[in-house]
Structure 1
Amino acid sequence: MPEPLTMADDDIITYPSRMSPIASEHTGFTTTASPVLYFYVSDPCPEEIEFTLNEEELPDPVLVTQIKGPQISGIFRIALADYNISLKPDVEYEWFVVIVLDPEERSADFLASAALKYVIPSADLVKKLADTPEDKLYSVYAAGGYWYDAFENLSRQIDAGPSDSALRTSRAELLRQVKLPSASDYDTKMAMIK
């Protein structure tokens, strides 16, 4: 259920009770310089969401932009290629999704963050990926530690075959493995209604 927030002028707005970056608990790896990032919101978000990407040891963000708040609960994507962002290999980045509740008091922000690193895959992993059917790539990515790519592969398959409940179930299991129960429950529920 969305959480109410009473503003100074007595207008009441709501914001999601949960917002989570879709990421592993530790720094997640990607094989691409411009990965697609995902986040989950439990409820509609009428406000814009601020997306920030920081590179370790740099004082200024690589990117700060506003994205339209989702009008429904679910899992949503942010494609770094849309912002002409290319990650440097073997450099850690932290990304944030933020609902700014009061621009004058940023300590009240509702935020979530995760870490990622672009790691060029080994020749062995490249061969395994080349030898694996598209619908099974996510398991090779996950086994190799490339969590962002595993999730992206499953998500693209869901986009292409939204009525395939097995894909949603696989993605829900992937989410459970990294302790994202709310997002996992969302996918489990979606698998049952497709």
Structure 2
Amino acid sequence: MQGIPWVAIAIILLTGLPSQAKFKPPGDVGKPGNRRGLATRGGECQVQGSPTLTTLVPTSNLGLAASNSPTFYWFTPINSYKYVTFNLHKVDAEDNPAELVYSAIAQLSGQAGLSSVTLPQQASSSTLSANIEYRWSVSFHCALSEPSRLVAIGWVKYVPPSPSLTNQLAVAQPQTKYDIYAEAGYWYDAVNELITANKTTPSRNLQMAWQELLESDAVQLNQLVGQ
């Protein structure tokens, strides 16, 4: 896997996360793939308990991004795997991976929590083109020489925000940006603002907002509440 960068993928332990805005997903058709990793039985490496490896995407598997270098989040369960790989692909007409846009590898610690990767802005080849759907995946490996036995899928589409939304965000307080992104249907930006707010100013209100988001009809990731 030469040429693929090794990255420090953070594990974020959520203690409480913002606001009262409801996430309003766009009317896009859902995309294929399983956002929950399904591992085959047996083998040296295993996941302990539930929930399993899970990409943080809506029930449609597709989320919008207001930035061409968004941050992708997933839940890492307690596990005995050695490595995690993140891959971002352009797809063909049948939604199958066709062109690798970005890939990263990191060692797993075995800890549970939210993990993330942000596309580097320095390299234009790894940023998203507007209005194109991309497929991303997270894979766990016992050894890099072996194929993955545990994979979870997500989709992303970069839609540049309108001038009015850009102006609104430019004057918004950090605590209110989640509301703005959620109302506009920008999944990746809303999630990132929510998690960032929790890291800087954790509160009971933020915890409730996080729970409401995960349990909403458009998301249905109830099993991640409290993780």
* Fold match by TM threshold 0.5: yes
For 2:112 and 2:106, locate their aligned partners in 1 and report how far apart those are by CA, in whole Å.
Answer: 15
Q: Which has the higher contact order (CA 8 A, sep 6+)?
A: 2
TM-score of the pair, normalised by structure 1? 0.79
In the alignment, is residue 24 of structure 1 matched against residue 48 of structure 2? no
Residue 182 of structure 2 corresponds to: 142
In the alignment, is residue 55 of structure 1 matched against residue 90 of structure 2? yes
Residue 192 of structure 1 corresponds to: none
Structure 2 regions of 5+ residues with no counterpart? 1-38
Candidates 160, 165, 183, aligned match of 2:204: 165
TM-score of the pair, normalised by structure 2? 0.69
RMSD value, Cα:
2.6
Structure 1 regions of 5+ residues with no counterpart? 187-194
Residue 157 of structure 2 corresponds to: 117
**Percent pairwise identity:** 23
Candidates 112, 118, 132, aligned match of 1:91: 132
Q: How many residues align?
A: 178
Candidates 145, 166, 170, aligned match of 1:126: 166
* Bigger share in helix: 1
- For the residue of structure 1 that corresponds to 2:89, the secondary structure is strand
Residue 190 of structure 1 corresponds to: none
The answer on whether the counterparts of 1:4 and 1:13 sit within 8 Å (CA) in structure 2 is no
* Displacement after TM superposition at 1:144 (Å): 0.5
Residue 224 of structure 2 corresponds to: 183
* Displacement after TM superposition at 1:67 (Å): 1.8
The answer on whether the counterparts of 1:49 and 1:98 sit within 8 Å (CA) in structure 2 is yes
For 1:67 and 1:79, locate their aligned partners in 2 and report how far apart those are by CA, in whole Å.
Answer: 13
